[in-house]
Structure 1
Amino acid sequence: MPRRELLTSSERLELLAFPTDEGELIRLYTLTKTDLAFVRQHRGDHNRLGIAVLMSYLRYQGRVLAGDERPHGPVLDIVAGQLGIPVDVWDVYAERDATRRSHLLELLPRLGMEQFGTRHYRSISVWLDPTALQTTRGIVLAQTVVNELRRRLIVLPPVAVIERLCAETMTRAQRKVFALLTEDLNLEQRTKLDQLLEQREGSPYSALSWLRMPPGAPTPRAVLGHIERLNAIRDLGLSLEVGHKLHQNPLLQLAREAGQTAVYQLKEYEQARRHGTLVALMIETAATLIDEIIDLNDRLIGSFFTKSKNKYERAFAEQGKAINDKVRLYARVGAALVDAWEQGRDPFAAIEAIVPWDSFSASVKEAAELARDQDFDAQDLLVEFRRLEKEAEKLLTGTT
């Protein structure tokens, strides 16, 4: 059965709300000379004010005032002011329902409007179908109906009727969505979808709950776990392209509702709804898993580089004294060599005057071990490079 309560209380008020800008109200509800001449053909201030207000409501609101409804205060003030009639006169007119009905019959042909009937209900309902396939918001559908009825110069029915029309159209649209999502499923795929709602072997969770588990911390295990989930969805053999047959809004809404529904409740859905809902959820879950796998991988690579950098900085700090000793030694050796060159002395003797040759030779080997590459880059300390390479290979295989 279609849902009866489609709009909230505030949305019902919003649907037929008047402009809040005073200038806009004056622009809309200012009577023309022709309007004034027509109004003044009627006898008595109460009749003139009454038919003028009814005409204004029909023309700009597209609806008839209910028998017990008092006009919107600012509109009543604007219309009464133009006629030079006190606002209180409305109370006299409101007591005469027969006069109001007579005026309505007089106004409809004058404004080129017609009363809403069964044929309009059916026509608008069918016309609304494409919009109902694009949105799941009741207020959007209701406002679309109101705008179309105004455009066609059809008097708006009560809001309850508009709600019912939109609810029935949404129900038809939902059935169409389920049909589009499930029309290509074979018996094996339907069986696999139902198995998602059963407990996973060796786990306290259902297969569906397992597929939708959050990724957790960025670790190789988390990446592999998500790739396994993605492959499990691919093993269902669903054509994920089915999502292109539908507007994104109902697809996301179905997936969101399914994500908030307990497994036992999904089991109770009739077959078309259950399978359609699960297909929508799998399409959305697959897309989410790919995004999360890429994010996990980015964060994991970032952690590898951070660890490598920290290791490099620790090693550099630990080797600082040795590096400083070497720099000071080579500064002295360099100065001795420059002096020997300038004075024509033996350079090797100059070195041995500062440090024994065996010690100098050993210090050169130590310096080579302390040195970094030309770019002073820490990547050569990336001892987990092979592990990183394997993870990248798994990522590319799992997400393509």
Structure 2
Amino acid sequence: MALPGTEQEVVRHYSLDDTDLALIARARTPATRLGYALQLCCLRYPGRYLRRGEVLPAIMLDYIAEQVDVDAEAIAEFARRGPTRYEQLATIKRNHGFRDLSHPLRAELGAWLDDEAVALTDGQALLERLADRMRTDRIIIPGASVIERMVASALHQADKAFAASIHAQLDTASRQRLDAVLAEKVHDQQSRLSWLRAPPNRVSARTLLELLDKIDAIRAFGIDEVSVPDAAWARMNQLAREGVRLTAQALQQMTPPRRMATLVATMRELEATTTDAALAMFGSLVGRANLRARKRLGETILASADQGRERLVRIAAVLEAMTMALRKGENVEAAVTSVAGLDLIEADAQLIRRSTKPGRSDVVGELQPEYRVFKQIGSRFLATFAFDGRKSTSSLRTAMGILVDLGGNWRKPLPIDVPL
């Protein structure tokens, strides 16, 4: 509720029109004209009374004094005349339509605040909306504490109404399951709620399976059918933020409607974050498998290169022996077999012929050692989520469905029309 202190704010809020100046001119003395203008401007923005003895920003005082053609020093005389201030206030209210906050107006604004609070959880934002509404309706703001209490009451009522609406949508079984998550223990040191909230600690198939267990546990609460109006999602998100940090004991101390609403919001948030974590974990496992396969392929290529050099040296020695034997008229077979056996030379020839064929290194061929990990998690991961995509992905999605049906049991026969 501070007075504006910048030139831009002063010009925006305190520019007087011809009607204002005509009413101000009715005051008899320069001091009363300046006082009238100052009180009028303060009632318009920030919307409250000008307090007795209040220090005014110099830029505000100079700008208003210039408009009414009065020396700013006249403010000292006006400040000394208390009765004149109150007489002018009555005149200003009558001339410009300002009203005090009466009981009927408070009730009207209270009903309006209740509607506004449904979509808001930020008390400061709601306070600013109320102040703007009161300025627009020319209702004088009696003090910051008054409207702060009105805003706090509206937010409290909105919280209660929202919690009651969530609580009413849950059947008895769902409420019992949600309460149980606070009382049950995974082990002596960890509640089930704490387990659900715990982030993954490392990349592994076992960790991914635990994430999938958490998703299944959250879905078992039966809260999918709970409806949340679009306007109430800010409050839902606020409850979720509370639920992910409060202890089970703190949640148990809440009223049943508040506790149920907080747990519903928390479980929905946990389902989303745990799903994201599971998808990221699967991606990390795929990435790790690819890196390991590339590493193995590189090692194989390096080993092949070392063996290839030995093979080429051996073939070169065979060719030299053949050449020398032919030039000297000696036995070629004896010269060749003195370097290497015919079986070894034949094997070298076949390997050289294969290695010189054009083509790309096969990373997929090196993924076989990772098969155990994906056999362990694959069908469970695919069964946990619903996958959709363009028409061009239909074959892939069909193959995924087959993997889900197999459920990791590779003794089951594949369908005849399996996409390959």
Same fold (TM over 0.5): yes
Aligned to 2:241: 256
Q: Distance in 2 between matches of 1:366 and 1:156?
A: 93
Shift in Å, 1:243: 4.2
User: 2:31 is matched by which residue type in structure 1?
Assistant: H
Which of 39, 63, 88 does residue 24 from structure 2 map onto? Answer: 39
Aligned to 1:78: 63
Paired residues, number:
375
Q: Confirm or deny that 1:212 pairs with 2:197.
A: yes
Shift in Å, 1:361: 1.6
User: 1:270 is matched by which residue type in structure 2?
Assistant: T
Aligned to 2:130: 145
Alignment of 1:346-357 (within 5 A): 357=342
Shift in Å, 1:387: 2.9
Q: Deviations over 1:226-249 (max 9, x none)?
A: 111111111111126534555332
User: 1:396 is matched by which residue type in structure 2?
Assistant: L
Aligned to 2:327: none
Shift in Å, 1:24: 4.5
Shift in Å, 1:385: 2.9
Q: Deviations over 1:253-276 (max 9, x none)?
A: 111122222221111111111111
Aligned to 1:49: 34
Q: Distance in 2 between matches of 1:139 and 1:274?
A: 25
Aligned to 1:387: 373
Aligned to 1:224: 209
Shift in Å, 1:129: 2.6
Q: CA RMSD in A?
A: 3.1
> Structure 1 residues 26, 98: CA separation in 2 closer, same or farther (over 3 Å shift)?
same
Alignment of 1:258-277 (within 5 A): 258-277=243-262
> Structure 1 residues 61, 204: CA separation in 2 closer, same or farther (over 3 Å shift)?
closer
Q: Is the 8 A contact 2:166 2:257 kept in 1?
A: no
Q: Is the 8 A contact 1:319 1:370 kept in 2?
A: no
> Structure 1 residues 29, 326: CA separation in 2 closer, same or farther (over 3 Å shift)?
same
Aligned to 1:103: 88
Q: Distance in 1 between matches of 2:12 and 2:169?
A: 55
Q: Deviations over 1:155-199 (max 9, x none)?
A: 223111111111000001101221222222111211111111114
Q: Distance in 1 between matches of 2:284 and 2:344?
A: 47
Q: SS of the residue aligned with 2:121? A: coil
Q: Distance in 1 between matches of 2:230 and 2:167?
A: 12
User: 1:192 is matched by which residue type in structure 2?
Assistant: R
Q: Deviations over 1:38-80 (max 9, x none)?
A: 2222122221111011112223433221234333332112112
> Structure 1 residues 246, 51: CA separation in 2 closer, same or farther (over 3 Å shift)?
closer
Q: Is the 8 A contact 1:182 1:279 kept in 2?
A: no
| TM-score after normalising by structure 1 | 0.83
> Structure 1 residues 53, 318: CA separation in 2 closer, same or farther (over 3 Å shift)?
same
Q: Distance in 2 between matches of 1:372 and 1:380?
A: 17
Shift in Å, 1:18: 2.0
Q: Percent identity?
A: 26
User: 1:393 is matched by which residue type in structure 2?
Assistant: S
User: 1:296 is matched by which residue type in structure 2?
Assistant: M
Q: Which moved more, 1:70-79 or 1:81-90?
A: 81-90
